[in-house]
Amino acid sequence: MDSAIKGAKQVGNITQKLGPFVGLLALIVVVSIFNSSFLEPLNLLNLLRQVAINALIAYGMTFVILTGGIDLSVGSVLALSSALMAGMMVSGLDPILAIIIGCLLGAVMGAVNGLLITKGKMAPFIATLATMTMFRGLTLVYTDGNPITGLGDSYAFQLFGRGYFLGIPVPAITMFLAFAVLWVILHKTPFGRKTYAIGGNEKAALISGINVSRVKVMVYSLAGLLSALAGAILVSRLDSAQPTAGEAYELDAIAAVVLGGTSLSGGRGLIIGTLIGALIIGTLNNGLNLLGVSSFFQMVVKGVVIIIAVLIDRKKAA
Amino acid sequence: MQISMENIHKAFGTNQVLEGVDMEIKHGEVHALMGENGAGKSTLMKILTGLHQKDEGTVTIDGEEKTFANPKEAEQFGIAFIHQELNVWPDLTVLENLFINKEPVTKFGLIQTKKMKAIASEQFEKLAVSIPLHKEAGQCSVGEQQMIEIAKALMTDAKVIIMDEPSAALTDREIEKLFDVIRSLKASGVSIVYISHRMEEIFTICDRITVMRDGQTVDTTPIPETSFDDVVRKMVGRELTDRFPERTPDPGEAVLEVKGLGRKGVFQDVNFNARAGEIVGVAGLMGAGRTEIMRTLFGLDGKYDGEIFVNGQKVDVKNPSQAVKLGLGFITEDRKGEGLVLDFPIKDNIALPSLRSFTKNSLIQEKEEQEFVEMLIKRLTVKTESSSTEAKNLSGGNQQKVVIAKWIGIGPKVLILDEPTRGVDVGAKREIYQLMNELTDRGVAIIMVSSELPEVLGMSDRVLVVHEGTIAGELHRDEADQEKIMTLATGGQVNG
């Protein structure tokens, strides 16, 4: 009897983990039935490159949401840090160094969020709503509302967003490498465990001697850093920094996290789910384009898919 | 009203919780329902009030078979249930809480606040409760919230009232008031089902007692025909030696010393120490500041006045993280809210404060972690299938053991226990006491805050009595008794 319960529980756990994956497979099957060119290697590689930016941002968002928070400012952090990177490149700094400094600046912007939330005791939604506006404003001030171009012709820099390595787009490689590193951080380090603990029960985490404020600041910094990294890919791909870059990216990132089965109330979720969630959104975008669905209608479909995914998840939980 | 439940069966999934329970509630009696945690008391009462549906058996009320589809039906029929978990809406006022979903309205559908106030004031007067009606319920103490729940149940004009651990959060004075109310209810023909772990109360207020064990009724006896020992024997199904294991304290040097500790408006000039291998009991009325002193000591409330010394060294405890590094552990009174991450497996809960000790090169060494946790689970005899069971699926006593395990894991110098056996059944209580003895034998200093005087007297080597935010007196084990503690706790003087 006991083993039956245990068995049932395990099956439940597996379906919970596999749910998003099954969803992705089903979507791929449906799309490729309607348009077989979806499965062509070139298209799939293209899809991975398109997904990379959202996936990187969504990884950071996963950590934030696991602590029970939210980060609305990721798109603006992407814009501001990529503008700063481009500015440094224009002024002659080595592009790779500019990207590294830009990523660190992204982490600082994330730290500002973290400090507002912990030291300022602001709700994450409010704090990041404010910084979303503020960082966007700073981007516009810095760029004067114009794109920054003339970034030089460093090969390494061009490779970052446009290149291939062993036939695989470099952004996709970045996406998978980042996944591997973040997976280890989330599942194998005390920092990852603390991230879950804070989202599961912040008071208990505090009383257990976890420096909750420090962990939160680190989590938001990580989200900022990953947004800036996504920004670097975008700058390389467009060979310019756009002042309006990253608008509404927070929504796609949150959608990827939620599609991946992470609970918005914190404490429960997996980063592999987020990667799959980002792939689902990418497949939808790519597939609907191939099927010639208008971009207006695409938004409707995306919204419906999110609702269906969450409804299925609820049902399983009950 | 006369209720008779016969041969009640109930299973949740494959877990058989009730296996043929019989219970009869007579008109105008106070009927105690006792049993260890998990014996099925609450489930039985939830079936009676329509919160759960029985699988088998019959419920007869005044000679007629009756099944309620939901609690509202039961309430309308005259059966009210005061739950163990308090269900207040923290942002609503006391008044709004009292009338939730039962607001009297005018014919235009507007709420009649005046009428509500009149009814509520009258009810509070009967209970001799003086909580302002416009106060937000979230600002009320746990004891006050409990009184709100009781008042709410009384307002339904119930014929049968089920009270699940009503006194757990009440001060002695409030309990006295509650008993007065119970007596007058009884006199007017209301029946009370009184669920409690506190033997003294049951023998004070109840007429009959039904004992349950493992989902079955052991028997029902009139109170005068039974005894503490008899009831305990029936509950656990075996002889329990003493309620408190014997202590042979051998205190060493002071590990923790507090001088002039204070927080504005909360407590002031608190001086005491705790020596290695000693249990220091902290008694006092609810709201006297006991818990607040401990929270400050553990760095939970930030800045404080006065000085704290650990092993003779002056320390500055700014946050719990520092407290843990200094070797302090804190088992708070709110096990679910502050002690455990309920969604976490037992393993992760136990490992949480000690992650550092099995982390190498920034990575958690999972094998070491697993061994560490298994060792503690075994040592504390936590009853569980595996260490990956989620904490929320454990009984109260086992949850408490997990919280204790988590702190034993850090190898503490000082362990602060706030109401360590609240909501824990008799068997597990004794195990926890034994554990405290083991810890002090190894030189841990224990500070135990407790509202249960027998526990304070049974386990402490020294008793500090807190009254209005200051330590009103200190009693040694051989001089301490209930009377002296209560005298000090209520502001009196003890000549000693």
Residue pLDDT, tens place only, B317-329: 999 999 999 999 9
Domain count, chain B: 2
| Alpha carbon distance B249, A172 (integer Å) | 65
Task: Inform me whether the pLDDT recorded for A149 exceeds 70.
Answer: yes
pLDDT band at A155 (very low <50, low <70, confident <90, very high): confident
Which of B325, B344, B352, B373 has the highest number of chain A CBs within 10 A, making it the mutation to test binding with A?
A: B352
DSSP annotation of B335: I
Closest CA to A22 of A286, A45, A51, A30: A30
- Is B248 inside a domain boundary? no
On whether residue B148 sits in a domain, the answer given is yes
Nearest CA in chain A to B406: A208
Q: Do A207 and B343 touch (CB under 8 A)?
A: no
Specify if B242 maps to a domain. Answer: no
Q: Which band of pLDDT confidence, cut at 50, 70 and 90, is reported for residue A48?
A: very high
State yes or no: pLDDT of B37 exceeds 70.
Answer: no
Q: Which residue has the higher pLDDT, A14 or B265?
A: B265
- Segment B142-157 mean pLDDT: 84
Cα A1 to its chain centre, rounded Å, is 43
- B300 in the same domain as B201: no
CB contact under 8 A, A6 and B385: yes
Left if phi > 0, otherwise alpha if psi is -120 to 50, otherwise beta: which for A52? alpha
Q: Which range among A57-61, A72-76, A163-167, A202-206 shows the weakest confidence by mean pLDDT?
A: A163-167
Inter-chain CB proximity A188 and B321 less than 8 Å: no
**What residues of A are in contact with residue B338 (Cβ under 8 Å)?**
201, 203-204, 207
Query: Do B158 and B36 belong together in one domain?
Result: yes
Q: Which residue has the higher pLDDT, B105 or B490?
A: B105
pLDDT band, residue B50 (cuts 50/70/90): very high
Number of residues assigned to chain B: 496
Same domain, yes or no: B205 and B324: no
Rounded to a whole number, what is the distance in Å from the CA of A188 to chain B's nearest CA?
6
pLDDT for A299-315, tens place per residue?
898 899 888 888 877 76
**Record: fold of A21-312:** ABC transporter involved in vitamin B12 uptake, BtuC (1.10.3470)
Q: What amino acid is encoded at B491 in this protein?
A: G
Question: Mean pLDDT across the stretch B427-452?
Answer: 91
At residue A226, does pLDDT exceed 50? yes
With a cut of 70, say whether residue A318 has pLDDT above it: no
Domain definitions of chain A by residue range? 21-312
Looking at the DSSP bridge assignments, the partners of residue B210 are B33, B220
3-state DSSP percent of chain A in helix, strand and coil, to 5 = 80, 0, 20
Is B171 in the same domain as B103? Answer: yes
Residue B421 lies inside a defined structural domain of this protein: yes
Using CA atoms, how far apart are residues B384 and B469, in angstroms rounded to an integer? Answer: 41
Q: Report d(CA B329, CA B255) in Å as an integer.
A: 13
pLDDT tens-digit map of A169-186:
999 999 999 999 999 999
Identify residues of B whose CB sits under 8 angstroms from chain A CBs: 13-14, 298, 300, 319-321, 323-325, 330, 332, 337-344, 348, 351-353, 355-356, 359, 362-364, 366, 385, 406, 410
What CATH number should be reported for the domain holding residue B474? 3.40.50.300
A217 reaches B (C-beta below 8 A): no
Asked if B341 lies within 8 A of A201 by C-beta distance, the reply is: yes
Range in A66-70, A122-126, A277-281, B171-175 the model is least confident about:
B171-175
Q: Residue B1 and residue B28: Cα distance in Å, rounded?
A: 8
Q: How many CB atoms lie within 10 A of CB B413?
A: 18
Nearest to B321 among A6, A190, A210 (CB): A210
Q: What is the pLDDT of residues B52-65, one digit of tens each?
A: 999 999 999 999 99
pLDDT of residue A1: 40
Domain enclosing residue B113, as ranges: 3-236
Categorize the per-residue pLDDT at A16 as very low, low, confident or very high, splitting at 50, 70 and 90.
low
Q: What is the pLDDT of residue A14?
A: 57
Residues B260 and B391 in one domain: yes
Same domain for B116 and B45?
A: yes
Q: What integer pLDDT is reported at residue B243 of this predicted model?
A: 76
CB contact under 8 A, B320 and A193: no
Helix A124-143 vs helix A95-118: crossing angle, to nearest 10: 140
- So what's the ipTM on this one? 0.84
Average pLDDT over chain A reads 91
Q: Using 50, 70 and 90 to split pLDDT, how confident is the model at B299?
A: very high
Higher pLDDT, residue B334 or B285: B334
B107 and B177 co-located in one domain: yes
* Number of Cβ pairs < 8 A linking chain A and chain B: 82
Does residue A5 sit at the B interface (CB-CB below 8 Å)? Answer: yes
Mean pLDDT of B456-464: 93
pLDDT confidence bin for B344, thresholds 50/70/90 = very high
Residue A238 pLDDT exceeds 60: yes
| Percentage of chain A modeled with pLDDT above 90 | 72
Q: Is A203 an interface residue toward B (CB < 8 Å)?
A: yes
Asked if residue B278 and residue B212 are part of one domain, the reply reads no
Nearest to A259 by CA among A86, A65, A108, A128: A65
Residue where a domain stops, chosen among B209, B236, B263: B236
Residue pair B25/B186 in contact (Cβ under 8 Å)? The answer is: no
As a whole number, mean pLDDT of residues B358-386 equals 91
Question: Is B247 inside any structural domain?
Answer: no
Q: How far apart are CA B286 and CA B418, in angstroms?
A: 12
B241 pLDDT above the threshold of 70: no
One domain, residues B303 and B358: yes
Q: Do A245 and A231 meet the contact criterion of CB atoms below 8 Å apart? A: yes
A194 interfaces chain B, CB cutoff of 8 Å? yes
Nearest alpha-carbon partner for A237 in A172, A144, A141 = A172
Q: Note whether B222 and B310 are same-domain residues.
A: no
CA angle in degrees (0–180, nearest 5) for A164-A167-A170: 30
Are both B268 and B383 inside the same structural domain?
Answer: yes
Amino acid found at B20: G
Distance of CA B459 to the CA centre of its chain: 18
Give the per-residue pLDDT at A2.
46
On the question of pLDDT at B86 being above 80, the answer is no
Rg of the Cα atoms in chain B: 24
Average pLDDT of the residues in B186-215: 90
Residues B328 and B221 in one domain: no
Q: Does A215 touch chain B (CB under 8 A)?
A: no
CA distance B131 to B116: 15
| Strand B216-222 versus strand B208-213 pairing type | antiparallel
Quick one: tokens of B268? 């002031």
Can you tell me the mean pLDDT for B468-490? 87
Largest CA distance in chain B: 73
> Per-residue pLDDT for A11 more than 70?
no
Chain A residues whose CB is inside 8 A of the B339 CB are: 204, 207
Q: Mutation test of the interface with chain B: which of A5, A193, A203, A207, choosing the one with the most B Cβ atoms within 10 A?
A: A207
With CA atoms as reference, the chain A residue closest to B365 would be A188
Which range among A34-48, B232-246, B480-494 shows the weakest confidence by mean pLDDT? Answer: B232-246
